[in-house]
Amino acid sequence: MTKSKGEKFIPQQFVLTQESSLVIMRSLGYGLLILSLFDWIAMFIPSNFMNPVWEFQTLGAIVERVPVPLIGLALIFYGELHSRKTWEFPILKFLSWLTLLFTLLFILLVPLGIFNTIRLNNQNVSQINNISKQQITRAQELEKQLNQVTPEQIDKFLKNQGRSLEGKKPEEVRNILLTQVSQAKEQIKNQAEAAQSFRGLNLIKTSVKWNLGALVAAVLFFGFWKGTDWSRIS
């Protein structure tokens, strides 16, 4: 008799323990979803739509934070209909359809991310080109002034700087200065090309990471929608 009672007691205790664990897991899941909601609302305040920088960074922030709501949903849906409260059923149905909406949204984020990557790259190229053009223009103006300056003016300029010709002719000094200006122009072009390459590579790496992350998130949300058809049955 004692053995028979023990055998009945252990499974019952196990079931109670499982039910208690389910309540804890699902409560944690709801909590994670609420925290994610607060976080996502904060990302959109203030909003700056049509700004490629803001849109691109917001896309990245959304993708970087997507594991939290995914974990929250997994905890909420765990155990399917076992040990559910009455108030949970409409919430589960809503969350199930919400995963389908998130699937579509994350799919739409991919072309938006690609479009903003192109816009940002064009902006970076334009910005770097403008800066380098300004620097080259100043160098060309200096070059023009050096070609027009007289030997006496070169000598006077060096004396005002506390320097001398050091045995060189003014024409030699001018040629040295012109060579330095020419080298500076070439250096400006090389630095502009290097900056464009560096920024472009980093932008592409970040874009690929976030766009692939959006695709993975879309697949996972779609998996939730397919796997929770039991919650949508009225």
* Number of domain units in the chain: 1
Tell me the C-alpha distance between 75 and 30, whole Å: 8
pTM over 0.85: no
What's the domain range around 8?
2-80+87-232
Torsion sign across C-alpha atoms 45, 46, 48, 53: negative
From first to last of its 234 residues, the chain has per-residue pLDDT tens of 444 444 444 455 545 567 788 889 999 999 999 999 999 999 999 999 999 999 999 999 999 999 999 999 999 999 888 888 899 999 999 999 999 999 999 999 999 999 999 999 999 999 999 999 999 999 899 888 888 877 777 777 667 766 666 667 777 877 888 888 899 999 999 999 999 999 999 999 999 999 999 999 999 999 999 999 999 885
Q: Which of 203, 162, 181 is nearest to 60 (CA)?
A: 203
